[in-house]
Amino acid sequence: MTIESTLTYPHNTHPTAFTQAQLEWLPWIEPLPEAELTERHFAGLVDASRAKSPYFRLLARDPDILGARTRTDKDIFYNPEAGLPRAERELSAAAASRYNGCIYCASVHARFASHFSQRTEDVQRLLDEGIGADLGERWNAIVAASVALSATPSAFGPAHIELLRAQGLDDLAIADVIHGAAFFNWANRLMLSLGEPQEQAAG
């Protein structure tokens, strides 16, 4: 049996604060080379363009779980039918990522939350001040629910549901908060543990 080796980046400039800036991500395990991807790997990647991403080519080592995960992700965040507005699905993802400490995931979904809500400064306050930032009652309720659900063991309960209801969320919207936060407990753990973020070079 051959023991494999991880990849390391002693000269990487690792971001040291939460940011909405675009970051790169460097894998600690060798992704599959593009030339070795089979039909089953492409099925797992779902979108062929993801073959360009080291993250997805790393996860493509086990293509079936990647494919099922990607389809779960897309429906939770992109399904436009009713439920929670897209901006607030992204807020639940950003809040879970801020709480778990995933600088890379938080950067992507804070950017999306800003884009869809046009509340860039509020989103930045979540990143700068953390999960206790006062973002107004409705966003506070979504952040609190996402954070409580992200604790291990979970601290989520009926009080969070009531707070969300009081802000006008129906049951599908509440289920969207639950799924958005829960999904990022999956995503955060992969991004945090299989590689590291990298600040983009200036210029």
The footprint of other proteins on this chain (CB under 8 A) covers a number of residues equal to 76
From the CB of 24, what's the least distance to other proteins, in Å? 15
Is 157 a binding residue for other proteins by CB under 8 A? The answer is yes
123 binds other proteins (CB under 8 A): no
Q: How far apart, in whole angstroms, are the C-alpha atoms of residue 122 and residue 191?
A: 25
Q: Mark the segment that binds other proteins (CB under 8 A) among 47-55, 114-122, 133-141, 148-156.
A: 148-156
Site for other proteins in 85-104 (CB under 8 A): 99-102
139 counts as binding other proteins under rule CB under 8 A: no
* One-letter amino acid of 155: A
* 18 part of the interface to other proteins, by CB under 8 A: yes
Continuous segment of H or E residues that includes residue 197: strand 195-199
**Type of residue numbered 129:** E
Q: Checking phi first, is residue 198 left (phi over 0); if not, alpha (psi -120 to 50) or beta?
A: beta
Could you say whether residue 37 binds other proteins (CB under 8 A)? no
Least CB distance to other proteins at residue 154 (A): 5
CB nearer to other proteins: pick between 21 and 68: 68
Which one-letter amino acid corresponds to residue 20? Q
- Burial class from Cβ neighbours inside 10 Å (0-12, 13-18, 19+) for residue 122 reads middle
Nearer to other proteins, 4 or 11 (CB): 4
Site for other proteins in 158-197 (CB under 8 A): 158, 160-162, 165, 170-172, 174-179, 181-183, 185-190, 192-194, 196
What would the two tokens of residue 157 be? 């309960």
Whole-number Å distance between alpha carbons of 112 and 118: 10
